Amino acid sequence: MRKKYLLMFLIAAMFVQAIVTGQVVCAAQVGDSGSAGEETGHEKGGEAVRNIIQKGHGGANITWTLYDDGVLEFSGSGAMESSSSSSNYSSWAWILPDVKHVIINEGITSIGNYAFNHGMEPNNVQTVTIADSVESIGSYAFYKCKELKEVFIGKGVEDIGKYCFSYDYLLEKIEVSDENTNFKSVNNILYSFDGKTIYRYPHNGVTDCVVEEGVTKICDDAFGDIETLKTVTFPKTIDYIGYEVFDGCNNLKTIYGYTNSLEQSYAKTENIEFVSLGKKIAQGVCGERISENSSKDNAVWILDEGVFTVTGSGKIDYSYAITPMWDRYCALIETLEIKDGITEIGSDMFRHCKYLKEISIPESMKEIKSEVFYECENLKKIVFHGSKIKIDAFYPAFGDCKVNTAGPLEGGYDYEFGWDTEIPFGAFGGCKELTSITIPESIIYIPPYVFKDCNMDNFTIYGYTNSYAETFARENNIHFVSLGNVISKPNDKSDKEEDSGLDEEAGAATKPLEGTLLKGDDNQAVYRVTAQGKTVAFNKVSNKKVTKVVIPDAVVINGIKYKVISISDSAFNGCKKLNSVTIGKNVTKIGNKAFFKCVSLKKINIPSKVIKIGKKAFYGCNRLKSIIIKTKKLKSKAVGAQAFKNIYKKAVIKVPKQQKKAYQKWLKKKGVAKTVKISR
C-alpha cells in the first residue's frame, strides 16, 4: 500500500514539474519576441496575438477595433459614418493619435466624408489599405493625415471625393488594384483609368514635373504642398485646372504652357513666371443655366490674346458643370466684346475680373443682373450700343469698378450712356476713379447714390442745357458742361398726348412719365412715378421735422390713382423727430437708408409684400423697440448690410412662425445685436 501511494506521489510531482517547466519555456519565448503591450504581443500556437485596446461602432453595421500594434480595423457591411465637417468628429476620432495603420475590410462599401480628418488633434496614420468592396471614398476623408505615407486602393473604388488626400505631406506611395477600371497608379501618381485626369501627385522629391500629353484635367490640390517642386510643364490638352492645385508649393518658380491657356491664367494670378510653348485658342459654352449642373448652348465664348468674345442669342450665364469653365481664364480677359443677339447677362458673371479694362455691350442687350462687373477694379471703358437696358437696382452691376471717362472735350468719350429715361440706382457705386459721364437729354431721373463713393470733387457731367442732367448737376454741386440746348423735351405736349392715349378735349389727365416727381395732396409727401399711370415710390417728405407719416396703399394725384409700391432711398433720412410710421400694404421695397438715424422712431410694421430691404434701412434707430415683420418673402441676399444695426439693444422683433429660424440667421448678419429678442 505504501508503495502504491509513493508511486502516485512521484507521478504528481513529475506533472507539477512539467507544468512549471512549460511556463518557464513560455515566459522565455515571450521575452524573446517582445513584452505584452508592444506591437507583436505574445504568441499562441506559433501566431502573434494582438491585444484589443478599444472598440466601437463606425456605421449601422460596422465596428472598428484598435489593437495594441497601432492597427485600426473596420469590419462589417455597408457605409461608414460620414461627417459634414472636420468639427463633427467621428466615433473613432479621439483614438487617431494612437493609430498607425488603417485597414478597411471586405464588406464595407464607402468611406465617409472627413472620416480621418478631425480638426486639431494629432493624426499619426501612416498606411491605409482599402478593400475591394469599397466603392467610394468621401471628400476630405484623409485630409491633413500629415504622417500618411502609403495608400492601397481596391478594385471596387468608383469615386474619390475632393481634397481626399490634401495636406498629406509625406504621401509618396499610391497603389491601385490592377483590377480597378476607374483609377490607376503610374509611378505613384493617381490617375483616372483613361489617364486623362490627375487626382493626386505623390511627395516624391520631384523638382521638374512634366504633365503627360493627353491629360485634360487636374483636380483640386493635386500637387498641394510639394515643397520641392520648381517647374511644371503643361500639355496642350489641358482644359480644367482645379482650385488650389499648387497650394503650398512655395518653391514653384516657372510654369511652361500655352498662350490663352488655364496655366497662363493661373501663373498670372499667382505671380509665377510663365513661359509660352506656343498658342491655342480657348473656347466654350456660356449659355443660360438650366440648373447647377447643366447649361444651354445658346451662347459661346472664345478667348484670344486678351479679347473675350461672346456670340449667340439670349442669356449668358455661369454653370459649374461647363468645361472649360471660362472664369478660370479671368486673369487673361482685358477686353470683353458681347456681340449682337445676347439679351441678358446673369448675376456675378464677370465678377472679380480684375484685369478687365474695356466692355462693349450690344444694342440687343436688355438686362444686366446684379454684380455682373462687381470689383472689376481696372475697368476703364464701357460702351453701351443699346438705348434701353435694365440693371439690377439693389446689387449694382458696376459696383467698385474704376471707370474713368475722358469726356467729349478731350477728343471723344469712353462711356456712351445708354439708358432711355432713368439711370438705375447704384449703377456706378464705388467706381472711385470715375471722373466724368455724358448723359443724354432723354434721361429724366437720376436716383440718390448713383455715384456713391465716387470722387465728386473732381467730377464732370456732360449734358444738355435745360435737361435733367443739368438740374441734377446744379442741385448736387457737380461741374456741368453743356453740349448744347435740349432739342426736344420728353415731357412736351405732343409726347404726353401720344403716351397717354387720352383725348385732352375730354378732360383726361396726362400721365407723367417714369421718374417724374409728384407732390401729394397734403404737400408733405413727394412721390416718384415708377410705372406711368400705375405705380409710385414714396420718395421723401418735404418737412424733415415731421413726427407722424402714413404711407398709403394708394394715392390719387391730379386725378390719377397710383399704387405706392416702394419707399425710396433716404426717404426719411435725418427725420430725427419722426416717431410713427404706417407702411401701406402694397409696399414691396424699402430703400437704402430709408429710415437712417430716425432716432425717435419706436416701432415699425413691415407688411407682407415686402421682398427687399436696403442697406442701413433702419441703421441708428436707437429707440426702435418693436419691429413686426409680416412678410414671409425676405431672403438674406435681399436684405442690405447693416439694415438693422444699432437699433434698441433690447428690441423685440416678431417674425412669421415658419420663417423664424431662417430670419434669425440673417437678422444677426444684418446688424441685430445678440441682446435683441427674436420671437414669432
Backbone angles phi, psi at 490, to 5 degrees: -65, -15
- 150 close to 128: Cβ distance less than 8 angstroms: yes
Share above pLDDT 70 across residues of the chain, in percent, rounded to a whole number: 78
For CA atoms 593, 594, 597, 602, give the dihedral sign: negative
Which pLDDT tens digit goes with each residue over 596-630? 999 999 999 999 999 999 999 999 999 999 999 99
Cell of 56: 466601437
pLDDT score of 488? 45
pLDDT score of 210? 96
Q: Is the pLDDT of residue 181 over 80?
A: yes
In sequence order, the 6+-apart residues with CB closer than 8 A to the CB of 69 are 39, 40, 41, 50, 100
Q: Is 211 helix (H, G, I), strand (E, B) or coil?
A: coil
Q: Which residues of 285-315 are buried (b: 16+ CB within 10 A; e: fewer)?
A: bbbbbeeeeebbebbbbbbeeeebbbbbeeb
pLDDT score of 418? 42
Candidate from 219-223, 441-445, 551-555 with smallest mean pLDDT: 441-445
pLDDT score of 557? 85
In sequence order, the 6+-apart residues with CB closer than 8 A to the CB of 2 are none
> 3-state SS string over 217-247?
EECCCCCCCCCCCCEEECCCCCCEECCCCCC
Please, how many CA atoms are within 13 Å of residue 69, restricted to the half-sphere of its CB? 15
- 48 close to 78: Cβ distance less than 8 angstroms: no
pLDDT score of 46? 53
Backbone angles phi, psi at 29, to 5 degrees: -65, -45
pTM of this prediction?
A: 0.57
Give the closest residue to 190 by CA, choosing from 218, 228, 227, 230.
218
Cell of 83: 461627417
Cell of 194: 483613361
Pairing outcome for strands 240-241 and 217-218: parallel
Q: Which residues of 374-385 are buried (b: 16+ CB within 10 A; e: fewer)?
A: bbbbebbbbbbe
Calculate the alpha carbon distances from 359 to 310, 519, 632 in Å. 11, 40, 39
Q: In 400-470, at which residue ranges do the beta strands (DSSP E only) sit?
A: 436-438, 460-465
**pLDDT band (50, 70, 90) for residue 275:** very high
Q: Is 287 helix (H, G, I), strand (E, B) or coil?
A: strand
In sequence order, the 6+-apart residues with CB closer than 8 A to the CB of 448 are 425, 568, 569, 570, 592
Give the closest residue to 125 by CA, choosing from 108, 104, 150, 90.
150
Q: Which helix (H) or strand (E) holds 282?
A: strand 282-285
Which pLDDT tens digit goes with each residue over 138-167? 999 998 898 999 999 999 999 999 999 988
**C-alpha triplet 447, 464, 420: angle, nearest 5°:** 50
Candidate from 429-438, 477-486, 543-552, 561-570 with smallest mean pLDDT: 429-438
pLDDT score of 415? 38
Q: What is the mean pLDDT of the chain?
A: 80
Q: Is the pLDDT of residue 122 over 80?
A: no
pLDDT score of 137? 96
The whole-angstrom separation of Cα 638 and Cα 659 is 15
Candidate from 9-13, 54-58, 95-99, 496-500 with smallest mean pLDDT: 496-500
The whole-angstrom separation of Cα 306 and Cα 151 is 43
The whole-angstrom separation of Cα 525 and Cα 549 is 9
Q: What is the DSSP string of 618-678?
A: TTT-TT--EEEE--S---GGGB-TTTTTTS-TT-EEE--GGGHHHHHHHHHHTT--TTSEE
Instruction: Work out the average pLDDT over 320-328.
Output: 63
Name 300's bridge partners: 285, 311
Instruction: Work out the average pLDDT over 538-561.
Output: 88
pLDDT score of 330? 87
For CA atoms 341, 343, 348, 354, give the dihedral sign: positive
Q: Is the pLDDT of residue 7 over 70?
A: no
Q: Is the pLDDT of residue 263 over 70?
A: yes
The whole-angstrom separation of Cα 236 and Cα 257 is 7
Which pLDDT tens digit goes with each residue over 526-542? 888 888 888 999 988 87
The residue written with cell numbers 461627417 in the block is: 83
Which pLDDT tens digit goes with each residue over 399-426? 555 444 333 323 233 333 444 455 655 5
Please, how many CA atoms are within 13 Å of residue 195, restricted to the half-sphere of its CB? 7
Give the closest residue to 458 by CA, choosing from 481, 486, 433.
433
Give the closest residue to 432 by CA, choosing from 474, 470, 404.
404
Q: Is the pLDDT of residue 80 over 70?
A: yes
Name 554's bridge partners: 563
Instruction: Work out the average pLDDT over 497-521.
Output: 56
Cell of 295: 447649361
pLDDT score of 449? 67
The amino acid that residue 552 corresponds to is P
Domains of the chain as residue ranges with CATH? 51-204 (3.80.10), 282-485 (3.80.10), 511-679 (3.80.10.10)
